[in-house]
Structure 1
Amino acid sequence: MALELRHLRYLLAVAEHGNFTRAAEDLHISQPTLSQQIKQLERMVGVQLLDRTGRTVRPTDAGLVYVEHARRALRDLAAAERAVHDVQDLSRGDLRVGVTPTFTAYLVGPLAAALHDAHPGVTLTVRETTQDGIEAALLADDLDLGIAFTGPGAHLPGIGASPLFTETLGLVTGPHTTAAADRAPVPVRSLNDRHLALLSRDFATRGHIDAHFGRHGVHPPIAVEADSVQALIEIVRRTPLATVLPDAITDGHPHLTRVPLDPPLPTRTVALLARADAYCSAAARAFTRLAHDHVAARAYAPAGPGGPGGPAH
């Protein structure tokens, strides 16, 4: 009996679910059929791949090695199928892009519009997640590209980064804040007496902000924590609260005022991420060109190793 792809998919399903019943339901086959197929695979490779003695089905030591290679083989096969079906003239195609959350507020919309205008036959899937999630998905071939940050030692092995531009962040106020008080740079230490609305601690940007405040012994009272940039924008518009956001977001909202901080937050280098050894489709190449064109047209600061106060991260 020859090994077939279904044997690998069935093994990965059981390893993922830790249970034959749930794996069979996910695969839309009966449990006896699934068990039989796994036993066939074990006979073909000549070794037990799953430990069925506990409440949870787990790969054996040999099974762990086999699962890793099976996952890699299916991933490479999927990439090969995409390469075969890749249409160089971009009359059709698919592109999967992961972004960290702040980029949905000012970068995803223009890039999606540019891609659709230039290549309406390409289907774009955008996933908002953490940088760690983006890199893991790239390595698993669940994404083609990512937009996140780069810097020394910032990435998992196997991830390549192409710098796009330098992102700066600053204090942001709305129309309910006295403009005269916000014309001069604001000392960071003065924020100890200023109520802020900030992104939640799940955001890498919040960690970046907190680290800067901590270096200067600043602990401002946090009146609101939000899990979306749009929510922060609405809060600042309607209250005297200030926030900290990338300058590119502020520039796109005329009702927001950018206020210099002294010292300023360290800059961060924004980059396109990809798996270093992945096939680069025509759609991915087109998106990359459009991203660089957009950055140049908006005159974003050139990508660099870091900015005032520390390295990019």
Structure 2
Amino acid sequence: MLRPIRYVLTVAELKNFTRAAEVLHVSQPALSQQIRQLEEELGAALFDRSGRAISLTDFGRVYIEHARKALDHLDAGKRALQDVRGLTRGLLRLAYAPTFAEYLIGPALRRFHAAHPAIAVEVSELPLEEIESRLERDALDLGIGFTDVRSEQLHTQPLFAEQISLLVGTGHALARRRKPVTAQQLQDVPLALLSPDFVVRKFADAYFRAHQISPPVIVQANAVGTVLKLVKDGALATVLPSTVLREHRGLASVPVTPALPQRTVALLARKRATPTLAASAFTTLLLAMIEEEGLERVGA
């Protein structure tokens, strides 16, 4: 369909079939045939051929106006595709579980913006269930969560092992302890924990049940930052990934025996979906950053 439109525009500009054919590098009969076929499809003559000079009909003038706009849009589309291929434009829709905001997301997004400043990024901090749901609906490109997803529609790419730890402020009495805290001793440690809907809290509660202990939970909060501030400034301990120490000073990790559980961090995406170029670039950058930071890769 584009070829006859370009033929029409060239004839309209040159007002001559012969010269138009020469410019387009086609034979005049082929040019005339293509334009007549287009006129038959449209049900109207575009050119008045009765005089010596070729001129546009009323139908032709209206059609030319819209044809030029259409070709301009198509050319702009081609340029936009080149921009996307060169990562000079595009969009990354990313969501992550809350604890990753404290050590992983900030450094990753800073690197990504430095490498691809023209790519727009939409980030959301969401519960794992919501991340899975949005990925299934194609409302996200990537999610950062854990390998134990419930949806069969999602692909998980293991990234690294995340150790859950007992964290205290550097002024806390346990910060100077050399021997591990036993599960039974943990029974007497006042805690500030995330609310029960957080995955890390579910891991902590499962550990407490397995060892038949009930440590005093003095504060529950729905924000990791709130918990960390309480722990840094007071006598409370918390149970969070030890990796938050990378981005937060004033904290110490206390060994516990038996050890608190590990979980495997994973990059989540929809199965059988073609990743966007922006998503592929972020994945490559994230894997490189994990390697550089010395995080324990899983399945590498």
TM-score (norm 1): 0.68
**What's the counterpart of residue 189 of structure 1?**
184
Report the number of matched residues.
Answer: 221
Deviations along 1:93-143, one digit per CA (max 9) or x if unpaired, are 100001011111111101110110000000011111111111110110100
| Counterpart amino acid of residue 113 in structure 2 | H
| Counterpart amino acid of residue 191 in structure 2 | L
Shift of 1:179: 5.2
Shift of 1:85: 8.2
**What's the counterpart of residue 98 of structure 2?**
101
- Computing the radius of gyration from Cα coordinates, the structure with the larger value is 2
**What's the counterpart of residue 169 of structure 2?**
174
Fraction of identical pairs, as percent: 41
Shift of 1:84: 6.1
**What's the counterpart of residue 139 of structure 1?**
136
| Aligned-partner Cα distance in 1 for 2:175–2:193 | 23
**Relative to 1, partners in 2 of residues 1:283 and 1:180: Cα closer, same or farther, differing over 3 Å?**
closer
1:98/1:129 contact within 8 Å kept = yes
Deviations along 1:204-256, one digit per CA (max 9) or x if unpaired, are 11001100111000100101111111111110111111111111102332310
Deviations along 1:14-52, one digit per CA (max 9) or x if unpaired, are xxxxxxxxxxxxxxxxxxxxxxxxxxxxxxxxxxxxxxx
| Aligned-partner Cα distance in 2 for 1:146–1:209 | 23
Segments of 5+ residues of structure 1 without an aligned counterpart are 1-82, 306-313
| Aligned-partner Cα distance in 2 for 1:291–1:260 | 29
Question: What SS does the corresponding residue of 1:241 show, helix, strand or coil?
Answer: coil
1:86/1:281 contact within 8 Å kept = no
**Relative to 1, partners in 2 of residues 1:86 and 1:276: Cα closer, same or farther, differing over 3 Å?**
farther
| Counterpart amino acid of residue 130 in structure 1 | P
**What's the counterpart of residue 207 of structure 2?**
212
1:86/1:282 contact within 8 Å kept = no
1:274 aligned to 269, 275, 280, which one? 269
1:203 aligned to 175, 198, 203, which one? 198
Question: What SS does the corresponding residue of 2:187 show, helix, strand or coil?
Answer: helix
| Counterpart amino acid of residue 215 in structure 2 | P
Question: What SS does the corresponding residue of 2:202 show, helix, strand or coil?
Answer: helix
Segments of 5+ residues of structure 2 without an aligned counterpart are 1-79
**What's the counterpart of residue 45 of structure 2?**
none
| Counterpart amino acid of residue 207 in structure 1 | K
**What's the counterpart of residue 107 of structure 2?**
110
**What's the counterpart of residue 21 of structure 1?**
none
Equivalences for 1:51-130 in 2 at 5 Å? 87-130=84-127
Shift of 1:299: 0.5
Query: CA RMSD for the aligned pairs?
Result: 1.8
1:188/1:216 contact within 8 Å kept = yes
1:269/1:304 contact within 8 Å kept = no
